[in-house]
Structure 1
């Protein structure tokens, strides 16, 4: 089984990478973090068939730690390999700061240069990813990710301070980063196989990463979002429990940001109550709604009670009874024929409600009926498109 070493395995990208690697059950995963000794690092480096080097320093107490924890650590790994005549492939997550004139950027550039020299001298394959701002689950707030800090503060009803809401960030989602790492490992498998067969090695990185040149790669999905847009979306997510409005999840950034936001909730804050609209028939509550997919409801109906007896011009619905027995009846508004379906919560059955048919649902059992409803549009009290008409004349 191929041995993959992940340095910085307890960090944000490291945790996500280790989990993904273990899920494949294809690799033996070696992990190194800051609590390990240099001897343990050396032992793991020499055992590894592929090194995912994620360890680094972001916020040291003095600038020298930048160079020791970034460039210096990478140089040590390379020296361990060279001293033992190994040319193990290495992937490193660098930063877009590597082109900037600051200590952090210079230390990341030092790491890149150490890998390029190693690649040239030892005929080793290296993968250098210069990453912009990152976001995703397990990212530490109030550290080096604005998105993580915004998520944490808004999830906890704390103030968010933005100096200029028009500032645009380049962002990559951690799952896309991990996918690129996995692509690179698979790419390395193909290259090794190609060399064994004495064929020309061809780089075959997957759709989540793009090769720029012999050394550098990019994560293909990069989002460009302003600080104002990010904060507004997160505030909308926080208010969802009141508005019930689901964001447009056809937007990949919204989907990734919403998934990220939920991970910053406190564990005793995962649940919330819905508003119940009660009357003599039972109760009904809205679940979620969206401009894109419409609206969902849940209702409980007492025995012998009938709901509905109305029709729509354009609005369509789906009914599914998940508890109890019910009769769902239809009649075309200009006809006399009554169509009846007997449904049972033990045999899940979805009924489509076409426009132009008045319809009703009656609890014909001894127990309360629980029904889920979906409508293709949100209820608009100014244009309800709902007209009362008895199914039974």
Structure 2
């Protein structure tokens, strides 16, 4: 069992790290945050086999707090270890701002140098990560993350400010950060004293592209057209956006088109992967009796009993496929076959449909013909 100390445990990165480490049976996690005393920090530090030093100050009331909160706190931690002859590996979460000549950057750079010196003096591994902009769940909006702020504001229809839409930012995703951090601890061959380390993957994205993605995520509840999430960044950004939805706004209604057959509702649409919709069909009712040149579909009955019928548009033989909600069976609908689905049971039939393209009323590719 490895005992791990996480300072800044209630911060953005700390919460995600603790949530992951806490699932491991071979790790005991000790947490330090701003509510803990220096005495508690000392007590936990002396018990730790590995230290994630994530605590720091980046929005103080006065600039002097940069030194006390970043360098001073780090030096206190190191002094506790050194004075007790403890050789405990430390991973420091720093910032690319350490390259800048400003009070915050200077304080982070000084904290880095203190950690490197500790590693040299006692001969123990140290891992210093100069992080770019980190995004993901639990980051604080209107603080120091453009992604968090924009996700929060756009989801609430609060205007955002984009001074330079073509500006490019370098981003890393929180899950990649956590995976990389834990990998440093778990590496049995680690031998690092004064090296800077990078996250396994980063993304360079223009602000206007981030804004466009987030606006499309917001509008997808109304248009039902969701991004194809064709790359990892869009997928991670969508997950991040949803984590900022107001807690009273997780749900949204679909338009249900009612008629004498039951109802039908579109669920999800994509530009490149078609759309999904769902229907409720009353006993004895038939849907379909049409065919397509190119459009294809899949039918899945999840409740009730039905039969799907096919006939080549120039043929006479009718094919029948019985389906029911007790034995899930997907039926492919090829082009060139007129097809229908009939409720042959005594209860309503619930069916999921997928089509490989969005419905275009100007070019529906749907032609009536009874099976």
TM-score (normalised: structure 1): 0.92
TM-fit CA distance, 1:101: 0.4
Per-residue CA deviation, residues 169-208 of structure 1 (Å, 9 max, x unaligned), is: 1111111111111111111xx13xxxxxxxxxx66xxxxx
Partner of 2:350: 370
Find the partner of 1:221 among 201, 213, 217: 201
Per-residue CA deviation, residues 8-35 of structure 1 (Å, 9 max, x unaligned), is: 0000000000000011222000100011
**Which secondary structure state, in structure 2, belongs to the residue aligned with residue 267 of structure 1?**
coil
- Provide the C-alpha distance between the structure 2 equivalents of 1:87 and 1:292, rounded to a whole number of angstroms: 55
Q: What does 1:82-97 align with in structure 2 at a 5 Å threshold?
A: 82-97=82-97
Per-residue CA deviation, residues 131-154 of structure 1 (Å, 9 max, x unaligned), is: 111111111111111111111111
Find the partner of 1:286 among 266, 271, 274: 266
Per-residue CA deviation, residues 326-381 of structure 1 (Å, 9 max, x unaligned), is: 01111122222211111111221111111121110001111111100011111122
Partner of 2:213: 233
Q: What does 1:302-381 align with in structure 2 at a 5 Å threshold?
A: 302-381=282-361
Partner of 1:37: 37
Q: What does 1:115-264 align with in structure 2 at a 5 Å threshold?
A: 115-187=115-187, 190-191=188-189, 214-264=194-244
User: Is 1:63 the equivalent of 2:63?
Assistant: yes
Partner of 1:208: none
Per-residue CA deviation, residues 28-57 of structure 1 (Å, 9 max, x unaligned), is: 001000110101001111100000110000
- Provide the C-alpha distance between the structure 2 equivalents of 1:376 and 1:317, rounded to a whole number of angstroms: 6
**Which secondary structure state, in structure 2, belongs to the residue aligned with residue 175 of structure 1?**
helix
**Which secondary structure state, in structure 1, belongs to the residue aligned with residue 175 of structure 2?**
helix
Which has the higher mean CA deviation after the structures are superposed, 213-222 or 345-354? 213-222
Gaps in structure 2 of 5+ consecutive residues: none
- Provide the C-alpha distance between the structure 1 equivalents of 2:231 and 2:148, rounded to a whole number of angstroms: 20
Per-residue CA deviation, residues 224-278 of structure 1 (Å, 9 max, x unaligned), is: 1122111121111111111101112121111111111111111110111111122
Gaps in structure 1 of 5+ consecutive residues: 192-201, 204-210
TM-fit CA distance, 1:215: 1.9
Contact 2:152 2:244 in 1 (8 A): yes
Partner of 2:13: 13
Contact 2:292 2:365 in 1 (8 A): yes
What is the RMSD of the two structures over their aligned residues, measured on CA atoms? 1.3
Partner of 1:98: 98
- Provide the C-alpha distance between the structure 2 equivalents of 1:292 and 1:71, rounded to a whole number of angstroms: 51
- Provide the C-alpha distance between the structure 1 equivalents of 2:100 and 2:41, rounded to a whole number of angstroms: 30
Contact 2:119 2:194 in 1 (8 A): no
- Provide the C-alpha distance between the structure 1 equivalents of 2:229 and 2:182, rounded to a whole number of angstroms: 25
Partner of 1:194: none
**Which secondary structure state, in structure 2, belongs to the residue aligned with residue 265 of structure 1?**
coil
Structure 1 runs (4+) deviating above 2 angstroms are none
Q: What does 1:107-122 align with in structure 2 at a 5 Å threshold?
A: 107-122=107-122
- Provide the C-alpha distance between the structure 1 equivalents of 2:182 and 2:318, rounded to a whole number of angstroms: 58
User: Is 1:298 the equivalent of 2:284?
Assistant: no
**Which secondary structure state, in structure 2, belongs to the residue aligned with residue 67 of structure 1?**
helix
Contact 2:116 2:194 in 1 (8 A): no
TM-fit CA distance, 1:130: 0.6
- Provide the C-alpha distance between the structure 1 equivalents of 2:126 and 2:161, rounded to a whole number of angstroms: 40
TM-fit CA distance, 1:382: 2.1
Q: What does 1:45-56 align with in structure 2 at a 5 Å threshold?
A: 45-56=45-56
